[in-house]
């Protein structure tokens, strides 16, 4: 199968072409629009946002105007109706501009949008999707807790029936967009029944209490908070999907979320690579540019290899997670010759996040003393990259997901 050609993606500034799926004309145009936005509206502000630990609200207004907050929302509900592959291309470009912006979009459009589209009722979709697409409200995803990070089965937050209503009590940790969000997908253990439930919670509901803002090593401008649910009362129409099926929904959302984090990591990796490459051409030591030394050239070559590998896995995961129209295996139609969609999402996230951290670290090394200073961009990229190895499941959890399939164990 010929997967090269005009639409094939390439490492910026090099002659190394990625063996990957072709991009359509529409994908190239949307990616170019995202790159232009990142260059003009995100990058000039990224250092200031990082220092202030806050994103300007205007960036979300502009993202909404371009349709980038409704990328996965069908056109009938005011969105762009993009496929997962194209959506991940845009996330990569936004992260190339600033990963904090891209993370907010990834949570809003990834796990939240996916679950609403897949399991929401027509009433829920009509009520929330147009507002999410326009940017009128942001979405957040509340699964993790102080005692239930990697082990999502250990949720302590409870949901109990009270007549026709549900009452939620507990707390959540590490909720991205939690202080700004208008709608949150909240997971809680069903007190009276088996399993876990997912709920659509509007944040003006009495009892939803935003707690402290976390001070993070990287992704400093991203709003990550803890929240408390003090007997939050929700109507019957707030239940998302079927009763007791929340754990499966959470895993499915995490598959999509991990593909998104992989795309973010790729954007960080590309940015670090480009900064290191350009600096190595300009910085002269011992009468020669750094790029003339074999030690530097080998670092740049290894960066290019890791970027290309990550990009290919991300696109494979996208096609497996959403096979319609591209001939890939579906969730219910496993291809015995290929890893499952879940495993590919984990592989992509693991490969891209570890590549981003390694590349950012090597970029700092190429910059030398300057790279350790906050006046230069690679220091921030290194801090942001570390978050990619933790978000939506640590690297250790990704290896467990892949290993279960490799040794053919049951489990999620």
State the catalytic residues: 392
C-alpha of 376 from chain center: 25
Question: Which residue blocks in 188-284 are alpha helix, DSSP H?
Answer: 246-282
The strand pairing partners of 246, in sequence order, are none
> How far is it, in rounded angstroms, from Cα 151 to Cα 215?
23
Q: Which of 147-164 are b and which e, b meaning 16 or more Cβ less than 10 Å from the residue's Cβ?
A: ebbeebeebebebbeeee
Cβ within 8 Å of residue 168, ≥6 positions away? 157, 158, 159, 186, 188, 199, 201, 207, 229, 231, 232, 234
3-state secondary structure of 369: helix
Q: Which residues contact 297 (CB under 8 A, 6 or more apart)?
A: 291
Q: What is the CA radius of gyration of the chain?
A: 21
**Cα-Cα-Cα-Cα dihedral sign, residues 234, 240, 242, 248:** negative
- Contact of 102 with 55, CB cutoff 8 Å: no
Rounded CA separation 189/30 (Å): 40
Size (the chain), residues: 412
Q: How far is CA 53 from the centre of its chain?
A: 19
| 3-state SS assignment for residue 17 | strand
Cα-Cα-Cα-Cα torsion 199, 203, 206, 210, nearest 10 degrees, comes to 110
């Amino acid at each position: 199968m010929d997967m090269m050609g005009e639409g094939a993606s390439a490492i910026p500034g090099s002659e190394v072409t990625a063996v990957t799926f072709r991009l359509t004309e529409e994908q190239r145009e949307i990616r170019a629009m995202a790159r232009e936005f990142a260059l003009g509206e995100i990058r000039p502000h990224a250092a200031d946002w990082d220092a202030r630990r806050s994103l300007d609200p205007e960036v979300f207004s502009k993202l909404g105007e371009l349709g980038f907050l409704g990328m996965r929302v069908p056109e009938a509900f005011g969105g762009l109706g993009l496929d997962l592959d194209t959506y991940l291309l845009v996330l990569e470009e936004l992260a190339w501009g600033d990963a904090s912006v891209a993370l907010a979009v990834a949570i809003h459009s990834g796990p939240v949008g996916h679950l609403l589209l897949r399991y929401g009722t027509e009433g829920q979709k009509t009520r929330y999707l147009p507002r999410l697409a326009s940017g009128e409200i942001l979405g957040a995803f509340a699964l993790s807790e102080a005692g239930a990070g990697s082990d999502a089965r250990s949720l302590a937050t409870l949901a109990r029936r009270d007549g026709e209503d549900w009452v939620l009590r507990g707390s959540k940790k590490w909720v991205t967009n939690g202080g700004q969000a208008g709608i949150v997908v909240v997971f809680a253990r069903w007190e009276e029944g088996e399993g876990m439930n997912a709920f659509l919670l509007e944040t003006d509901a009495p009892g939803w209490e935003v707690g402290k803002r976390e001070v993070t090593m990287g992704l400093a401008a991203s709003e990550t908070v803890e929240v408390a649910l003090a007997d939050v009362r929700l109507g019957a129409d707030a239940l998302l999907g079927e009763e007791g099926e929340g754990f499966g929904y959470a895993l499915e959302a995490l598959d999509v979320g991990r593909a998104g984090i992989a795309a973010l990591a790729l954007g960080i990796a590309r940015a670090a690579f480009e900064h290191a490459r350009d600096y190595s051409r300009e910085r002269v030591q011992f009468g020669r540019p750094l790029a003339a030394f074999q030690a530097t050239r080998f670092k740049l070559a290894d960066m290019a290899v890791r970027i290309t590998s990550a990009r290919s896995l991300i696109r494979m995961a996208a096609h497996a997670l959403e096979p319609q129209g591209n001939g890939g295996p579906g969730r219910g139609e496993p291809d015995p010759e290929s890893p499952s969609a879940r495993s590919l999402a984990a592989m992509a996230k693991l490969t891209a996040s570890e590549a981003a951290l390694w590349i950012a670290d090597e970029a700092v090394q190429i910059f030398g003393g300057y790279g350790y200073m906050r006046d230069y961009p690679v220091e921030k990229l290194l801090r942001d990259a570390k978050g990619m190895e933790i978000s939506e499941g640590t690297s250790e959890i990704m290896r467990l997901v892949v290993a279960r399939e490799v040794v053919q164990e049951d489990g999620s």
